[in-house]
Amino acid sequence: MKKVLLVDDSISVARQLEKILVESGDFQVVGQGKNGLDAIKMFQTLHPDIICMDMNMPGMDGITALRTLMSLDKTVKVVMITSLGGVGDKFNEAIKLGAMNVISKPFEAENVLKILRGL
């Protein structure tokens, strides 16, 4: 079972994602962070297989965290889940930095699972 770290400042999104992942039976949610700094700290202690991270968060944003995560470990699999996914520049920046995919909000459960299973 793949270990997933969720990083989103919204409690409701984290809950929704956790429900989708746990009910699928394919993923285990090992931690939940609220900003980019949490993502970096939790990645180093929890060693997740996948990180699902928002872009627009207070404190350290998702793009800054992605840049740091990739400098720590180029093999880390990060999927950005964000309402800004449809903004071309943001999408391109995330993909260039090393994100495996960018999922727009609102998201569909099947789409999230299809993308994460494909990693």
First vs last C-alpha separation in the chain: 13
What is the distance of C-alpha 10 from the center of its chain? Answer: 13
Rounded least distance, CB 35 to another protein, Å: 9
Is 81 within 8 Å of 109 (Cβ atoms)? no
Binding mask 76-105 for another protein (x = CB under 8 A): ------xxxxxxxx-xx--xx---xxxxxx
Rounded least distance, CB 45 to another protein, Å: 25
Rounded least distance, CB 58 to another protein, Å: 5
Binding mask 24-63 for another protein (x = CB under 8 A): --------------------------------xxx-----
CB atoms within 10 A of CB 36: 26
Q: How is residue 118 annotated by DSSP? A: T
Q: Which is nearer to another protein, 30 or 87 (CB)?
A: 87
Q: Whats the size of the chain, residue-wise?
A: 119
Q: How far apart are CA 26 and CA 54, in angstroms?
A: 21
Q: Where does this chain bind another protein (CB under 8 A)?
A: 9-13, 15-16, 19, 56-58, 82-89, 91-92, 95-96, 100-108, 111, 114-115, 118
